[in-house]
């Protein structure tokens, strides 16, 4: 790129940077004007005690610190001892199982990357002294939890928009008519499998690869609930504490986010996707585990942890590159015909992004070094017959780099490597192909984003990425942004996250067309990161909607010894993939 082009690009970037904050402010004001919203969403919290789990405290802090919702009322249940005892659903001491108590204490002291969402917190300081508290009497009648007429009148007088039931004593159906948008409840396995007992326990007990979590809305006049948010996360097979942590921290964020969407977008934000089934069960499928069940569970857990230790002690993970040069589309291809490029000792290679230029292929990929436990971006030159040269390092930072997404714009080549370690989505420009790259700007800042993938359609640029947090994994939630240029400013999609499913959310390569249909490769991370690959057909991609459907899966079973596959890209007749296996430590 010559000096004139460099100056023009610099001026474009500066002007776009200046307009970003103003653009977001205008967008927010436009939403408010369209919906005619003049006040915040009025929320009541229904609780049974001022000692609440930490995840509930985070919901409270999120509401109080927002500019879109207020806690107008605390509904404090005053209940008899039998009602509290029969409905208690917390991690500690379920059903008086001695072996659960033993496991619970041991599991809480074990290493877990997340803090426990069920650590008890006194919420008095969070809600403040000015928040109104209404103590009500809850009683059982005909198997249902009810309130007195006087208490119902006291709640109705507050003109509530939403009641969030966090009381852990079951829902009083009468509450549903006391708020405009009914009663919201949240929990693990709340929809497709109604379970009691320790939160997120049975998924670990039954070796289920995913744990479901939902936020649901109950309103008067409707026979079934509306699912406001539904997600599947990978089950932590080695810790119940780890499993419930991933679930409830994500639920806390989902509740606050849904309140924000209600304020900005109006009632339309609470519509359920017709494809989302609602399953109502009168009785739980699983209850609190007894001592016999816990004995079986603890034996299984000991064996799983021993196998994990043995695997980590004797083997290392290794990703390698696979390729094929022919005209057969990947959907129709026999993967047994793939050829492989193996990394040298001390490294693995993953995330290949090939480009065809001047009659050659240039493969950009992640090169991970075991010694530093960090990766950089390298490029490998390959001829049309598959002969290739040794890779050359082209981009390295103090933090981990991977997934070097490549795209062209205005006759220039750009790269967006994964830079989660720097809490930003970074853009680089090629100034001397293929080895010299310069930083351009951070497209999105203060995000833990992975596998950013761009696509241009209908005059807009679309940015796909998965975003995680300090308390939940990056594999679950697909987020979408759009802009008129790949330099931004980027507008978040109104339905973010547009998908929350560990089985088919995380990007796995460039989007592509096949027979007129648009496909998005995605990873299945339910059993491990990149355990398999899904090819999803995108059926709707607009600023107001996003939908896709699974068409086929690529399982790592075409040769013996493979355990994962997580990137697919093409360039001309070249198709590149990566695949995963375990190798002895002596060979790593």
Q: Which residue has the tokens 């744990």?
A: 211
User: Helices H, strands E: what count in the chain?
Assistant: 9, 32
Residue 501: pLDDT band with limits 50, 70, 90? very high
- Tell me: cis bond preceding 108? Omega within 30 of 0 counts: no
pLDDT in tens, 502-548: 999 999 999 999 999 999 999 999 999 999 999 999 999 999 999 99
Say whether pLDDT at 588 is over 90: no
- Name which of 425, 391, 424 is nearest 405 in CA terms: 425
Say whether pLDDT at 413 is over 60: yes
Domain ranges of the chain: 1-36, 39-289, 309-587
3-state DSSP of 210-267? EEEEEEEEECCCCCCCEEEEEEEEECCCCCHHHHHHHHHHHHHHHHHHHHHHHHHHHH
Q: φ and ψ at 189, to 5 degrees?
A: 50, 45
Q: φ and ψ at 459, to 5 degrees?
A: 80, 5
Distance of CA 352 to the CA centre of its chain: 23
Residue 172: pLDDT band with limits 50, 70, 90? low
**Entry pTM:** 0.88
Residue 485 DSSP SS3:
coil
Distance of CA 553 to the CA centre of its chain: 20
Q: What is the mean pLDDT of residues 52-62?
A: 93
Q: Which region among 269-273, 481-485, 519-523 has the lowest average model confidence (pLDDT)?
A: 269-273
Q: What is the pLDDT of residue 175?
A: 80
Which of the two residues, 576 and 326, has the higher pLDDT score?
576
Which of the two residues, 336 and 339, has the higher pLDDT score?
339
Q: What is the pLDDT of residue 32?
A: 44
- In angstroms, the CA 449 to CA 403 distance is 12
Question: In the CATH hierarchy, which fold is given to the domain comprising 39-289?
Answer: Rossmann fold (3.40.50)
Q: Write the CB contacts of 72 (distance below 8 Å, at least 6 apart in sequence).
A: 42, 43, 44, 132, 158, 160
Average confidence score pLDDT of the chain = 86
Which of the two residues, 283 and 9, has the higher pLDDT score?
283
- Name which of 429, 351, 362 is nearest 392 in CA terms: 362
Highest mean pLDDT range out of 92-106, 146-160, 254-268, 324-338?
A: 254-268
Say whether pLDDT at 161 is over 90: yes
Q: Which region among 17-26, 51-60, 264-273, 547-556 has the lowest average model confidence (pLDDT)?
A: 17-26
Say whether pLDDT at 234 is over 70: yes
Say whether pLDDT at 449 is over 90: yes
Residue 296 DSSP SS3:
helix
pLDDT in tens, 378-390: 999 999 999 999 9
Percent of the chain with pLDDT over 70: 84
- In angstroms, the CA 363 to CA 395 distance is 14
CATH, domain range 309-587: 2.115.10.20
Say whether pLDDT at 282 is over 60: no
Say whether pLDDT at 34 is over 90: no
């Amino acid at each position: 790129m010559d000096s004139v082009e460099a100056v023009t690009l610099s001026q474009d970037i500066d002007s776009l940077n200046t307009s970003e904050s103003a653009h977001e402010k205008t967008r927010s004001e436009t939403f408010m004007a369209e919906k005619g919203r003049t006040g915040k969403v009025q929320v009541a919290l229904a609780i049974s005690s001022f000692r609440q789990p930490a995840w509930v405290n985070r919901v409270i802090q999120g509401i109080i610190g927002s500019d879109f919702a207020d806690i107008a009322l605390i509904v404090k249940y005053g209940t008899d001892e039998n009602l509290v005892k029969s409905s208690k659903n917390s991690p500690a001491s379920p059903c008086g199982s001695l072996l659960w108590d033993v496991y619970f204490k041991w599991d809480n002291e074990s290493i877990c990357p997340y803090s426990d969402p069920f650590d008890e917190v006194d919420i008095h300081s969070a809600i403040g002294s000015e928040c109104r508290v209404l103590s009500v009497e809850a009683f059982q009648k005909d198997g249902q939890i009810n309130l007195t007429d006087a208490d119902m009148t006291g709640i109705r007088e507050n003109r509530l928009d939403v009641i969030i039931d966090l009381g852990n004593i079951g829902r009083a159906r009468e509450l549903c008519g006391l708020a405009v948008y009914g009663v919201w409840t949240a929990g693990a396995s709340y929809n497709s499998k109604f379970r009691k007992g320790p939160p997120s326990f049975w998924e670990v007990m039954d070796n289920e690869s995913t744990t479901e979590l939902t936020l649901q809305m109950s309103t008067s006049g409707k026979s079934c609930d509306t699912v406001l948010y539904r997600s599947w996360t990978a089950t932590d097979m080695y810790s119940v504490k780890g499993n419930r942590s991933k679930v409830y921290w994500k639920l806390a964020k989902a509740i606050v986010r849904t309140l924000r969407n209600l304020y900005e977008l109006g009632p339309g934000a609470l519509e359920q996707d017709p494809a989302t089934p609602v399953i109502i069960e009168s009785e739980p499928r699983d209850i609190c585990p007894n001592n016999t069940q816990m004995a079986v569970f603890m034996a299984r857990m000991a064996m799983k942890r021993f196998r994990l230790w043995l695997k980590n002690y004797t083997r290392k993970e290794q990703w390698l590159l696979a390729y094929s040069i022919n005209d057969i589309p990947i959907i129709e291809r026999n993967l047994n015909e793939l050829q492989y490029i193996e990394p040298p000792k001390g490294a693995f290679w993953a995330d290949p992004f090939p480009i065809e230029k001047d009659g050659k292929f240039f493969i950009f990929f992640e090169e991970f070094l075991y010694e530093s436990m960090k990766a950089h971006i390298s490029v490998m030159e390959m001829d049309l017959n598959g002969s290739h040269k040794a890779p050359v390092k082209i981009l390295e930072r103090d933090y981990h780099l991977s997934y070097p997404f490549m795209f062209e714009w205005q006759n220039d080549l750009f790269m967006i490597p994964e830079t989660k370690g720097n809490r930003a989505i970074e853009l680089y420009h090629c100034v001397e192909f293929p080895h010299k790259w310069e930083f351009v700007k951070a497209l999105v800042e203060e995000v833990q984003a992975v596998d950013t993938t761009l696509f241009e359609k209908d005059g807009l640029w679309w940015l796909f990425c998965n975003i995680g947090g300090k308390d939940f994994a990056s594999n679950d939630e697909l987020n979408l942004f759009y802009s008129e240029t790949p330099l931004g400013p980027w507008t978040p999609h109104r339905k973010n996250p547009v998908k929350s499913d560990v089985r088919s959310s995380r990007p796995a390569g460039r989007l592509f067309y096949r027979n007129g249909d648009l496909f998005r490769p995605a990873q299945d991370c339910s059993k491990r990161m990149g355990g398999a690959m899904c090819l999803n057909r995108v059926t709707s991609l607009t600023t107001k909607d996003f939908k896709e459907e699974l068409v086929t899966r690529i399982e790592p079973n075409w040769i013996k010894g493979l355990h994962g596959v997580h990137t697919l890209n093409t360039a001309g007749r070249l198709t590149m993939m990566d695949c995963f296996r375990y190798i002895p430590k002596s060979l790593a």
